Amino acid sequence: MNLVVVSNRVSRGKPNEPMTGGLAAALLPIVEKSGAIWVGSSGRVRDGNQKEPFAEVEALGAGALAMLDLPAAHYGGYYEGFANSALWPALHSRADLIRASQDDYLSYREVNAFMARALLRFRKPDSAFWIQDYHFLALGAELRDLGVAQPIGFFLHTPWPSRSVISGVPHHSELIEAMLAYDLIGFQTDEDCENFLSYAQADLGLVVHDGVIISRYGRTRAAVFPIGIDPQQFAQLAAKASTHPDVSRLRRSLNGEKLAIGVDRLDYSKGLINRIKAFDRMWTLHPSLARTASLLQIATPSRGAIEAYGNLQSEVAKLVSDVNGQHGEVDWTPIRYLNKGYGQAVLAGLYRAAQVGVVTPLQDGMNLVAKEYVAAQNPVDPGVLVLSKFAGAANELDTALLVNPHDIDGMARTIALALSMPLTERRMRWEAMMAKLRGQTIQQWFSDFTDALRESRHYSVELAPVMTEPALWPLRSATTGGVRYH
């Protein structure tokens, strides 16, 4: 099978380049090893109506990376607009933050259609397409409209919310109908998958049986594929990173003080405000932890052109400064706050230098930082993971200290507990988490999904001819002005 993987963001695989987000970090090793073609945005835009979309193609391990310049007229409406101001807040159950204009939606559909046209040049008779994430919900339908009959799968890296929340997205039914062009749709957790199936059944009125949705496209299977990491490779990276200058400078600066670490994109779903409030509360409740335990919070700037992100950046910066002003001493800073990204090679070393990893999102698809923190630990003296029960990772890493990120006092108590946990308990919890990571690696995720995709296409096509009545109708109304009958 010739696999074409598609995502908005790609990574060029330079070990010291900062990596934004879990998706790019996760896909990189599998593209390098499997020989797939990975197609995504170059981060640049281009004017005019390109007949042949411009792509820069380079080798990536055994595979290749193709970076496309997206259309300038639609990029903002697609990325900052519909994808990150309508879909992202809805997918993270923040319906109050949904902002989307009709133009944004049209741009989103245009970019999906543009990507579909660009993908044709990578198509071979035995190709399969694997589309990643919420930027490309309608890409499968666009490919089918262009006559692509090969298997097309989709994996959602974020959560999928309840029916009432997703219904807050303008054009939700049209978009979700379009998703049924996929043969296989993968989710991170059972809850995400159930929410999706229940929308298909109750809101679209479709037949759903045993995780399979029947529509005019044939069958779409929805299933759960929790994404993993390569724990062995990450552990090696962490062991090697101890000599990295940033890591050794950090260790030296600690003077025996304990360290908690948080590494997140600066995003409202990550729960940064509540986390910092929890540390504030902890130093108030346990004054003995002042000077003996501090927080290193790396918050990589993200989507700065969107108002909600700009506001968050100022709010977090102010809170950090208030807390440092309140608890700091002439020779002690409680929170070291950094607004920049780090490469995997340094991050692995920073995780290993920290006795506690704090991963406390309000909602998160999986959260690979949680998994990487665990994999980076020194087996003879591992740190403790404090993990939100609303991160997908909590389903597997259930021997972490699970917290409710809305309960500031509870988090403060749990972080204090983590900082003083005895070695035997730390090892017991860590070993159980490592066993889970070893059982569900990124390689396993890749082969589980691609095997299931092959099988799903087979069943989907087999059923298609027996469908007499189309269940759902042309999905092009918004972009073309065509009529919708549904």
Please enumerate in sequence order all residues whose Cβ is within 8 A of that of 46, keeping only pairs 6 or more positions apart, or say none. Answer: 54, 69, 70, 71, 72
Q: Are strands 212-215 and 207-209 parallel, antiparallel or unpaired?
A: antiparallel
Phi/psi of residue 214, nearest 5 degrees: -105, 125
Nearer to ligand F6P, 85 or 460 (CB): 85
Phi/psi of residue 140, nearest 5 degrees: -60, -45
DSSP 103-156: HHHHHHHHHHHHHHHHHGGG--TTEEEEEESGGGTTHHHHHHHTT--S-EEEE-
Assess whether 327 carries a catalytic annotation.
no
In whole angstroms, the minimum distance from the beta carbon of 80 to ligand F6P comes to 9
- Alpha-carbon distance of 354 to 346, in angstroms, equals 13
In whole angstroms, the minimum distance from the beta carbon of 474 to ligand F6P comes to 29
Q: Are strands 184-187 and 218-224 parallel, antiparallel or unpaired?
A: parallel
- Alpha-carbon distance of 36 to 167, in angstroms, equals 35
| Secondary-structure percent of the chain, ordered helix, strand, coil, rounded to 5 | 50, 20, 30
**Residue 43 is encoded by which pair of tokens?**
């981060």
- Alpha-carbon distance of 465 to 459, in angstroms, equals 11
In whole angstroms, the minimum distance from the beta carbon of 157 to ligand F6P comes to 3
Nearer to ligand F6P, 168 or 365 (CB): 365
In whole angstroms, the minimum distance from the beta carbon of 366 to ligand F6P comes to 8
Nearer to ligand F6P, 212 or 394 (CB): 394
In whole angstroms, the minimum distance from the beta carbon of 139 to ligand F6P comes to 15
Nearer to ligand F6P, 7 or 274 (CB): 7
C-beta neighbour count of 35 within 10 angstroms? 14
- Alpha-carbon distance of 242 to 236, in angstroms, equals 11
Q: Pick the catalytic residue: 74, 135, 157, 172?
A: 157
Assess whether 74 carries a catalytic annotation.
no
Binding site for ligand F6P (CB under 6 A): 8-9, 20-23, 133, 157-158, 265, 302-303, 365
Give the N- to C-terminal CA distance of the chain in Å, as an integer: 36
| Helix, strand or coil, per DSSP, at residue 353 | helix
Q: Pick the catalytic residue: 104, 264, 280, 364?
A: 364
* Cα four-point dihedral sign 454, 6, 99, 170: negative
In whole angstroms, the minimum distance from the beta carbon of 182 to ligand F6P comes to 17
Which DSSP category does 302 fall into?
-
Residue least distant from ligand F6P (Cβ): 21
Strand order in the sheet with 401-403: 335-338, 293-300, 258-265, 356-359, 384-388, 401-403
In whole angstroms, the minimum distance from the beta carbon of 269 to ligand F6P comes to 9
Phi/psi of residue 377, nearest 5 degrees: -75, 155
In whole angstroms, the minimum distance from the beta carbon of 8 to ligand F6P comes to 6
Q: Which residues are catalytic?
A: 157, 364
